[in-house]
Protein backbone atom coordinates (compact mmCIF):
# COMPACT_ATOMS: atom_id res chain seq x y z
CA UNK A 1 0.00 0.00 0.00
CA UNK A 2 3.00 2.30 0.27
CA UNK A 3 3.77 2.34 -3.40
CA UNK A 4 0.71 4.38 -4.51
CA UNK A 5 1.20 7.03 -1.80
CA UNK A 6 4.82 7.59 -2.73
CA UNK A 7 3.95 7.66 -6.42
CA UNK A 8 1.03 10.09 -6.04
CA UNK A 9 2.96 13.37 -5.77
CA UNK A 10 4.97 12.50 -8.87
CA UNK A 11 1.78 11.50 -10.75
CA UNK A 12 -0.03 14.72 -9.70
CA UNK A 13 2.92 16.81 -10.79
CA UNK A 14 3.04 15.10 -14.17
CA UNK A 15 -0.75 15.48 -14.65
CA UNK A 16 -0.64 19.15 -13.72
CA UNK A 17 2.20 19.75 -16.09
CA UNK A 18 0.38 17.99 -18.94
CA UNK A 19 -3.03 19.62 -18.36
CA UNK A 20 -2.05 23.22 -17.78
CA UNK A 21 -0.81 25.31 -20.63
CA UNK A 22 2.79 26.21 -19.90
CA UNK A 23 2.38 29.93 -20.59
CA UNK A 24 -0.73 32.18 -20.78
CA UNK A 25 -4.19 30.63 -21.29
CA UNK A 26 -5.82 31.02 -24.70
CA UNK A 27 -9.47 32.17 -24.47
CA UNK A 28 -11.96 29.76 -26.08
CA UNK A 29 -9.11 27.62 -27.40
CA UNK A 30 -10.45 25.14 -29.89
CA UNK A 31 -14.13 25.48 -29.00
CA UNK A 32 -15.15 27.87 -31.77
CA UNK A 33 -17.40 29.66 -29.27
CA UNK A 34 -17.67 33.40 -28.99
CA UNK A 35 -16.95 35.54 -25.95
CA UNK A 36 -19.94 37.88 -25.38
CA UNK A 37 -19.47 41.57 -24.64
CA UNK A 38 -20.42 42.53 -21.11
CA UNK A 39 -22.74 45.42 -20.32
CA UNK A 40 -24.35 46.79 -17.23
CA UNK A 41 -27.87 48.27 -17.12
CA UNK A 42 -27.88 51.64 -15.31
CA UNK A 43 -31.18 53.16 -14.15
CA UNK A 44 -31.72 56.60 -15.69
CA UNK A 45 -35.47 56.98 -15.00
CA UNK A 46 -38.12 55.21 -13.00
CA UNK A 47 -41.90 55.07 -13.49
CA UNK A 48 -44.84 53.53 -11.60
CA UNK A 49 -45.85 49.93 -12.36
CA UNK A 50 -48.86 48.02 -11.06
CA UNK A 51 -47.84 45.59 -8.33
CA UNK A 52 -50.62 43.22 -9.37
CA UNK A 53 -49.16 42.95 -12.89
CA UNK A 54 -47.41 39.58 -13.29
CA UNK A 55 -45.44 40.90 -16.28
CA UNK A 56 -44.88 38.38 -19.08
CA UNK A 57 -44.55 40.68 -22.07
CA UNK A 58 -43.72 44.34 -22.62
CA UNK A 59 -43.66 46.02 -26.02
CA UNK A 60 -44.30 49.31 -27.81
CA UNK A 61 -47.16 49.23 -30.29
CA UNK A 62 -48.33 52.18 -32.37
CA UNK A 63 -46.51 54.59 -30.05
CA UNK A 64 -47.93 53.17 -26.82
CA UNK A 65 -46.51 50.82 -24.23
CA UNK A 66 -48.42 47.52 -23.87
CA UNK A 67 -48.08 44.77 -21.30
CA UNK A 68 -49.24 41.17 -21.10
CA UNK A 69 -49.70 39.65 -17.64
CA UNK A 70 -49.97 36.10 -16.32
CA UNK A 71 -52.18 34.24 -13.85
CA UNK A 72 -55.62 35.79 -14.52
CA UNK A 73 -54.23 37.17 -17.76
CA UNK A 74 -54.64 40.65 -19.14
CA UNK A 75 -53.58 42.83 -22.03
CA UNK A 76 -53.03 46.41 -20.90
CA UNK A 77 -51.97 49.72 -22.34
CA UNK A 78 -49.67 51.57 -19.95
CA UNK A 79 -48.74 55.18 -19.43
CA UNK A 80 -45.56 56.13 -17.64
CA UNK A 81 -47.49 58.56 -15.41
CA UNK A 82 -49.45 56.12 -13.30
CA UNK A 83 -49.45 52.43 -12.43
CA UNK A 84 -53.11 52.29 -13.41
CA UNK A 85 -53.46 50.98 -16.98
CA UNK A 86 -54.85 53.41 -19.55
CA UNK A 87 -56.82 50.52 -20.99
CA UNK A 88 -57.09 46.86 -20.03
CA UNK A 89 -58.82 43.71 -21.15
CA UNK A 90 -59.12 40.70 -18.86
CA UNK A 91 -58.67 37.23 -20.32
CA UNK A 92 -60.25 35.34 -17.45
CA UNK A 93 -58.57 32.14 -16.39
CA UNK A 94 -55.85 32.33 -19.04
CA UNK A 95 -52.16 32.70 -18.18
CA UNK A 96 -51.01 35.21 -20.81
CA UNK A 97 -47.35 35.38 -21.79
CA UNK A 98 -45.12 37.02 -24.42
CA UNK A 99 -46.35 40.01 -26.43
CA UNK A 100 -45.11 41.25 -29.81
CA UNK A 101 -46.07 43.92 -32.33
CA UNK A 102 -45.59 43.85 -36.09
CA UNK A 103 -46.58 47.51 -36.24
CA UNK A 104 -50.12 46.65 -37.25
CA UNK A 105 -51.20 43.94 -34.79
CA UNK A 106 -50.37 42.67 -31.32
CA UNK A 107 -49.63 38.96 -30.80
CA UNK A 108 -50.02 37.47 -27.34
CA UNK A 109 -48.91 34.01 -26.20
CA UNK A 110 -50.35 31.89 -23.43
CA UNK A 111 -48.22 29.76 -21.09
CA UNK A 112 -49.72 26.26 -21.38
CA UNK A 113 -53.08 26.88 -23.05
CA UNK A 114 -51.58 26.63 -26.56
CA UNK A 115 -53.45 29.72 -27.74
CA UNK A 116 -52.07 32.74 -29.59
CA UNK A 117 -54.28 35.84 -29.55
CA UNK A 118 -54.01 38.34 -32.38
CA UNK A 119 -55.26 41.84 -31.59
CA UNK A 120 -55.93 44.66 -34.05
CA UNK A 121 -57.21 48.24 -33.86
CA UNK A 122 -56.89 50.85 -31.15
CA UNK A 123 -57.92 50.07 -28.52
CA UNK A 124 -57.00 46.53 -29.55
CA UNK A 125 -59.72 44.01 -30.22
CA UNK A 126 -59.22 40.27 -30.33
CA UNK A 127 -59.28 39.38 -33.99
CA UNK A 128 -58.00 35.78 -34.09
CA UNK A 129 -57.17 32.85 -31.83
CA UNK A 130 -54.62 30.39 -33.19
CA UNK A 131 -53.66 27.02 -31.69
CA UNK A 132 -50.00 26.00 -31.40
CA UNK A 133 -48.18 23.08 -29.78
CA UNK A 134 -45.91 23.53 -26.75
CA UNK A 135 -45.50 26.29 -24.19
CA UNK A 136 -45.46 30.03 -24.76
CA UNK A 137 -43.02 32.19 -22.78
CA UNK A 138 -41.55 35.16 -24.67
CA UNK A 139 -42.43 36.69 -28.05
CA UNK A 140 -40.96 39.34 -30.34
CA UNK A 141 -41.14 40.29 -34.01
CA UNK A 142 -38.03 40.09 -36.21
CA UNK A 143 -37.82 40.47 -39.98
CA UNK A 144 -41.39 39.40 -40.69
CA UNK A 145 -41.40 36.47 -38.22
CA UNK A 146 -42.60 36.02 -34.67
CA UNK A 147 -39.88 34.64 -32.40
CA UNK A 148 -41.06 32.49 -29.49
CA UNK A 149 -39.30 31.17 -26.42
CA UNK A 150 -40.78 28.23 -24.49
CA UNK A 151 -38.63 27.89 -21.38
CA UNK A 152 -35.99 25.81 -23.14
CA UNK A 153 -32.88 27.01 -24.97
CA UNK A 154 -34.79 27.02 -28.26
CA UNK A 155 -36.16 30.05 -30.09
CA UNK A 156 -38.73 29.14 -32.73
CA UNK A 157 -39.73 31.34 -35.66
CA UNK A 158 -43.36 31.52 -36.79
CA UNK A 159 -45.37 33.25 -39.49
CA UNK A 160 -47.57 36.00 -38.05
CA UNK A 161 -50.52 34.90 -40.22
CA UNK A 162 -51.14 31.39 -38.85
CA UNK A 163 -48.18 30.86 -36.47
CA UNK A 164 -46.72 28.05 -38.59
CA UNK A 165 -43.23 27.20 -37.38
CA UNK A 166 -40.68 28.07 -40.05
CA UNK A 167 -37.37 27.70 -38.22
CA UNK A 168 -35.53 27.58 -34.93
CA UNK A 169 -32.18 28.36 -33.32
CA UNK A 170 -30.63 27.16 -30.08
CA UNK A 171 -29.44 29.90 -27.73
CA UNK A 172 -25.82 29.22 -26.81
CA UNK A 173 -23.43 31.06 -24.51
CA UNK A 174 -19.76 30.19 -25.14
CA UNK A 175 -21.00 27.13 -27.02
CA UNK A 176 -23.31 25.90 -24.24
CA UNK A 177 -27.15 25.96 -24.45
CA UNK A 178 -28.92 28.48 -22.19
CA UNK A 179 -32.23 27.16 -20.85
CA UNK A 180 -35.18 29.11 -19.41
CA UNK A 181 -35.20 31.89 -21.99
CA UNK A 182 -38.22 34.04 -21.13
CA UNK A 183 -39.41 37.52 -22.21
CA UNK A 184 -37.95 38.73 -25.52
CA UNK A 185 -37.40 42.03 -27.31
CA UNK A 186 -36.24 42.23 -30.92
CA UNK A 187 -34.33 45.50 -31.38
CA UNK A 188 -30.96 46.92 -32.38
CA UNK A 189 -30.23 43.83 -34.51
CA UNK A 190 -30.35 41.46 -31.55
CA UNK A 191 -32.90 39.62 -29.43
CA UNK A 192 -32.78 40.84 -25.84
CA UNK A 193 -33.88 38.01 -23.55
CA UNK A 194 -34.64 37.60 -19.89
CA UNK A 195 -33.59 34.32 -18.29
CA UNK A 196 -36.15 33.11 -15.76
CA UNK A 197 -35.02 33.94 -12.19
CA UNK A 198 -31.86 35.70 -13.39
CA UNK A 199 -30.93 39.38 -13.42
CA UNK A 200 -28.78 38.86 -16.52
CA UNK A 201 -30.32 39.90 -19.84
CA UNK A 202 -28.90 38.28 -22.96
CA UNK A 203 -28.26 39.79 -26.39
CA UNK A 204 -28.78 37.01 -28.92
CA UNK A 205 -27.86 36.94 -32.61
CA UNK A 206 -31.23 36.01 -34.22
CA UNK A 207 -29.53 34.23 -37.13
CA UNK A 208 -27.41 31.83 -35.07
CA UNK A 209 -28.69 31.87 -31.49
CA UNK A 210 -25.24 32.88 -30.29
CA UNK A 211 -25.23 35.07 -27.19
CA UNK A 212 -23.22 38.11 -28.27
CA UNK A 213 -23.76 40.15 -25.12
CA UNK A 214 -24.61 39.67 -21.45
CA UNK A 215 -26.20 42.59 -19.59
CA UNK A 216 -25.94 42.68 -15.82
CA UNK A 217 -29.29 44.17 -14.75
CA UNK A 218 -28.85 43.50 -11.04
CA UNK A 219 -29.04 47.25 -10.27
CA UNK A 220 -32.77 46.92 -11.05
CA UNK A 221 -33.36 43.86 -8.88
CA UNK A 222 -31.49 45.58 -6.04
CA UNK A 223 -33.65 48.71 -6.48
CA UNK A 224 -36.88 46.75 -5.88
CA UNK A 225 -35.50 44.17 -3.43
CA UNK A 226 -37.17 45.66 -0.34
CA UNK A 227 -40.44 46.29 -2.16
CA UNK A 228 -41.37 42.84 -3.48
CA UNK A 229 -42.28 39.84 -1.40
CA UNK A 230 -43.00 37.04 -3.87
CA UNK A 231 -40.19 34.67 -4.85
CA UNK A 232 -41.66 34.87 -8.37
CA UNK A 233 -41.24 38.67 -8.57
CA UNK A 234 -38.35 38.34 -10.99
CA UNK A 235 -36.96 40.60 -13.71
CA UNK A 236 -39.14 40.08 -16.81
CA UNK A 237 -40.15 42.73 -19.30
CA UNK A 238 -38.01 44.46 -21.89
CA UNK A 239 -39.26 47.06 -24.36
CA UNK A 240 -37.27 49.26 -26.72
CA UNK A 241 -39.13 52.32 -27.99
CA UNK A 242 -38.96 52.61 -31.79
CA UNK A 243 -37.65 56.00 -32.85
CA UNK A 244 -36.15 57.10 -29.54
CA UNK A 245 -34.35 53.83 -28.72
CA UNK A 246 -35.24 54.25 -25.05
CA UNK A 247 -34.93 50.92 -23.20
CA UNK A 248 -37.44 49.98 -20.49
CA UNK A 249 -37.22 47.04 -18.12
CA UNK A 250 -39.46 45.83 -15.35
CA UNK A 251 -40.32 42.67 -13.44
CA UNK A 252 -43.28 40.60 -12.34
CA UNK A 253 -45.18 42.41 -9.56
CA UNK A 254 -42.55 45.15 -9.46
CA UNK A 255 -43.62 48.64 -8.33
CA UNK A 256 -41.43 50.36 -10.95
CA UNK A 257 -40.64 50.33 -14.67
CA UNK A 258 -37.07 51.47 -15.24
CA UNK A 259 -35.57 53.27 -18.17
CA UNK A 260 -32.00 52.02 -18.46
CA UNK A 261 -28.79 52.88 -20.23
CA UNK A 262 -26.54 50.02 -21.29
CA UNK A 263 -22.90 50.71 -20.45
CA UNK A 264 -20.13 48.60 -21.89
CA UNK A 265 -17.95 46.95 -19.25
CA UNK A 266 -14.35 47.26 -20.41
Applying CB under 6 A, the residues found at the interface with ligand DDQ are: 56, 111, 137, 151, 182, 196, 232
Choose from Ca ion, ligand DDQ, none: what does 172 bind? Cβ within 5-8 Å by kind. Answer: none
Which of the stretches 9-17, 75-83, 163-171, 185-193 binds Ca ion when contact is defined by CB under 5 A? 185-193
In angstroms, what is the minimal distance from the CB of 196 to ligand DDQ?
5
Other Cβ atoms closer than 10 A to 173: 21
Torsion, CA 141, CA 142, CA 148, CA 154, rounded to 10: -170
For the chain, helix, strand, coil in percent to 5 are 10, 50, 40
232 binds, among ligand DDQ, Ca ion, none (CB under 5 to 8 A by kind): ligand DDQ
Of these partners, ligand DDQ, Ca ion, none, which one is at the site of residue 215 (CB under 5 to 8 Å by kind)?
Answer: none
Neighbours of 11 (CB within 10 A): 10
Residue 131 Cα to chain centre, angstroms: 23
Binding window for Ca ion (CB under 5 A); candidates: 40-48, 54-62, 124-132, 242-250 = 54-62
Query: Is residue 259 a contact partner of residue 46, using CB atoms and an 8 Å limit?
Result: yes
Phi/psi-derived region of residue 121, left when phi > 0, alpha when psi is between -120 and 50, beta in every other case: left
For residue 59, the partner it binds in Ca ion, ligand DDQ, none, with Cβ less than 5 to 8 A by kind, is: Ca ion
Per-residue string for binding with Ca ion, 140-179, x by CB under 5 A? Answer: ----------------------------------------
Write out the H or E segment, with its range, that includes residue 219. helix 218-224
* Contact between 97 and Ca ion per CB under 5 A: no
The entry of ligand DDQ, Ca ion, none near residue 196 (CB within 5 to 8 angstroms by kind) is ligand DDQ
Largest pairwise CA distance in the chain: 83
Count of Cβ atoms closer than 10 Å to residue 159 Cβ = 12
Q: Using CA atoms in the order 217, 156, 102, 195, what is the torsion angle rounded to 10 degrees?
A: -10
Residue from 50, 53, 59, 253 in contact with Ca ion (CB under 5 A) = 59
Residue 149 or 172 with smaller CB distance to Ca ion: 149
Question: Is residue 186 near Ca ion by the rule CB under 5 A?
Answer: no
Task: Confirm or reject binding of residue 203 to Ca ion (CB under 5 A).
Answer: no
Amino acid sequence: MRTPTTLLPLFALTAAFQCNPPTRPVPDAGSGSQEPVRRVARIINSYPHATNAFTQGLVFHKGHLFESTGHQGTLRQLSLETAQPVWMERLGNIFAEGLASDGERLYQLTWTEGLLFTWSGMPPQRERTTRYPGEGWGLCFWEGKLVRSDGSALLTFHTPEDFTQVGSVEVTLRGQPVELINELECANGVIYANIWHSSDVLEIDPATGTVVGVIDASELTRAVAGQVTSHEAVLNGIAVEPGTGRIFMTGKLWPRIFEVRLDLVE
